[in-house]
Amino acid sequence: MPKPKIKSNIICLLILALISCRAFSQTKSFTLKTLGIKIGKLEAYRTSKNNFDAFVSHSTIDFVTIKADVKTEAIYQNGILIKAVVTSTINGKPYLSQTLWKKDHYQIDCHARDYNYSDSTLTTPIRWSAGKLYFEIPTKGDAVYAESYGVMGVLEETKKNTLKMTTPESKQIYYYNHDYSELLKIEVINDIKNFEMIPDN
């Protein structure tokens, strides 16, 4: 089966169209830290209009021997993920992950650091992806799609007020306040560099 050619500018055009139509929008920013030292930042944007939601995030890390630049774009229609594109550069090497809803299944073609995965057997519509978690709060047991890796993870409540998701190359632990109404921080554990994401606003 030929691989779909998904262009990130399609998503950008849709986002611009939503903005031009006076769409509802949100912005969130995070400081990335390891051992209390700032190593990078992440900016996340959400734009909604009628039955479309666009989630975009852009993160950068510059710390000792690690330089990373990652942009994630995802489009939802009626609460279902229909497109996702992740463009990243890790220590100068580019990677691209793409996901497209094709009427009754997803066409997935994902490439990240030391990771390559293609699939067309996922037929369950995706309602949660990693980039959406910056703006909305899920519950334990929810299945979350990792846009970079093309696989689903299930959120587990490992201890009080925390939800953990495991992906092929990392783990993300989401910390919430006592009634799960506010995201306090995200802990990222991987083989490149462990760090925390602290909301700025």
pLDDT at position 1 over 90: no
Domain-by-domain residue ranges, the chain? 8-199
- What's the pLDDT score for residue 16? 53
Q: Please state, in angstroms and as integers, the Cα–Cα distance from residue 10 to each residue in 7, 50, 74, 106, following that order.
A: 6, 18, 11, 17
Q: What is the mean pLDDT of residues 58-74?
A: 95
pLDDT at position 86 over 50: yes
Distance CA 178, CA 1 (A): 48
pLDDT tens digits along 113-169: 889 999 999 999 999 999 999 999 999 999 999 999 999 999 999 899 999 999 888
Distance CA 122, CA 155 (A): 18
- What's the pLDDT score for residue 12? 54
Q: What is the mean pLDDT of residues 43-71?
A: 96
pLDDT tens digits along 95-125: 999 999 999 999 999 999 889 999 999 999 9
pLDDT tens digits along 179-201: 999 999 999 998 778 999 999 97
- What's the pLDDT score for residue 15? 53
Contacts 24+ apart (CB under 8 A), 40-49: 40/68, 40/195, 42/197, 44/131, 44/134, 44/135, 46/134, 46/135, 47/15, 47/18, 47/19, 47/23, 48/18, 48/23, 48/24, 49/18, 49/21, 49/22, 49/23, 49/24
**Kind plus residue range of the DSSP H or E element containing 19:** helix 8-20
For residue 39, count other CB atoms closer than 10 A to its CB. Answer: 19
Question: What's the pTM?
Answer: 0.86
- What's the pLDDT score for residue 191? 79
Residue 156 per-residue DSSP state: B
- What's the pLDDT score for residue 17? 52
pLDDT tens digits along 12-48: 555 555 545 567 899 999 999 999 999 999 999 999 9
